[in-house]
Amino acid sequence: MQIDYYFATISPYTYLAGTRPAEVAARHGATLNYKPLSIMDLFARTGGTPPKDRHESRREYRLIEMRRSAAKLGMPINLQPAHWPTNPAPSSYAIIAASRDGSGDMAELVAGITRACWVEERDIAEDDVIADCLQAAGFDRGLVDKGMMAGAETYARNLEEAVAAGVFGAPFFIVGDEKFWGQDRIDDLDTHLARA
């Protein structure tokens, strides 16, 4: 079974997903295809509104939900990190390069990059931060600037595939014709795979 995992490295909900998508995939012998994309471009293409442009009541409730979700999962979170939003492309290109390389732990890499943003107050657009995350997940630090052209092409293609597949937020999981939006639907993904 294949799980297409569309996510954004600047998304708090990708951070809150943690390594659970990989754990679910492993439990069911499924392959998890990591597909980072630009969430702001996805919003623009699918009728979404960036957080900064939402009504004040929606912005406030978003923070409430983030706090509640983090508490439920026992995960720390900084609701207003110093380096957000930031350019998600460099960290996404590194994830794409790491996926091709295959020598480390992809789940820990994604979790480490998002944790750097949402907990550690680090700018995930900076090469040193990305390299630290690569190394911590068992990858060569040098992947931070390897395959930039291929990374950019894949990053753009991921967005096109996402729009065509009906993706409109992150994280988003697709298994065949089944779609699951949000870190709070990972249990539903797990149940679906168990029945498949």
* Strand 172-175 with 178-181, pairing: antiparallel
Q: Please give the residue range of the domain that contains residue 92.
A: 2-195
Segment 70-99 shows an average pLDDT of 97
Q: Over the range 32-64, which residues count as b (16 or more CB within 10 Å of their CB) and which as e?
A: bebbbbbbbbbbeeeeeeebeeeeeeeeeeeee
Which band of pLDDT confidence, cut at 50, 70 and 90, is reported for residue 190? very high
Give the sign of the dihedral formed by CA 192, CA 105, CA 38, CA 72.
Answer: positive
Contact 143, 41 (CB under 8 A): no
> What is the pLDDT, as a whole number, of residue 104?
98
Biggest alpha carbon–alpha carbon distance for the chain: 44
Q: Which two tokens stand for residue 10?
A: 């600047």
Residue appearing with tokens 């944790």: 115
pLDDT in tens, 35-55: 999 999 999 999 999 999 999
Candidates 165, 174, 164; CA nearest to 2 is: 174
Q: What mean pLDDT is reported for the chain?
A: 97
Amino acid identity, residue 33? N
pLDDT in tens, 106-157: 999 999 999 999 999 999 999 999 999 999 999 999 999 988 999 999 999 9
> What is the pLDDT, as a whole number, of residue 147?
85
Contacts (Cβ under 8 Å, ≥6 apart) of 80: 63
What sections of 6-147 are H helices per DSSP?
12-17, 20-27, 39-46, 56-73, 89-101, 106-118, 127-136
Answer yes or no: is pLDDT of 84 > 90. Answer: yes
CATH of the domain at 129: 3.40.30.10
Q: How many domains does the chain have?
A: 1
Which band of pLDDT confidence, cut at 50, 70 and 90, is reported for residue 174? very high
